[in-house]
């Protein structure tokens, strides 16, 4: 089951990402990589603060 995640970046910005992201997700503030796609679930680099 796929879910949305609230992820906090190193710069302090929080944004919602899809847990099964098929593309690399970058922080909207500092452009750091928050998640990289794998075969199924994304590998999250930031800190997951909440599962939505």
User: Is the pTM above the cut of 0.85?
Assistant: no
4-51: CATH superfamily: Ribosomal protein S27 (2.20.25.100)
Q: Kindly list the strands in the beta sheet with 4-8, ordered across the sheet, starting from the edge strand earlier in the chain.
A: 14-18, 4-8, 47-51
Beta strands in 1-52 (DSSP E): 4-8, 14-18, 25-26, 33-36, 43-44, 47-51
Domain boundaries, the chain: 4-51
- Helix residue ranges per DSSP H, the chain: none
Nearest to 26 by CA among 3, 46, 12: 46
Confidence of residue 14 (pLDDT cuts 50, 70, 90): very high
Confidence of residue 1 (pLDDT cuts 50, 70, 90): low
* Predicted confidence (pLDDT) per residue in 18-51, tens digit: 999 899 999 999 999 999 999 889 999 989 999 9
User: Whole-angstrom Cα distance, residue 41 to residue 29?
Assistant: 23
């Amino acid at each position: 089951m796929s879910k949305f995640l609230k992820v906090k970046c190193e710069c302090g910005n929080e944004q919602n990402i899809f847990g099964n992201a098929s593309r690399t997700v970058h922080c909207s503030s500092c452009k750091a990589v928050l998640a990289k796609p794998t075969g199924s679930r994304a590998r999250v680099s930031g800190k997951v603060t909440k599962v939505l």
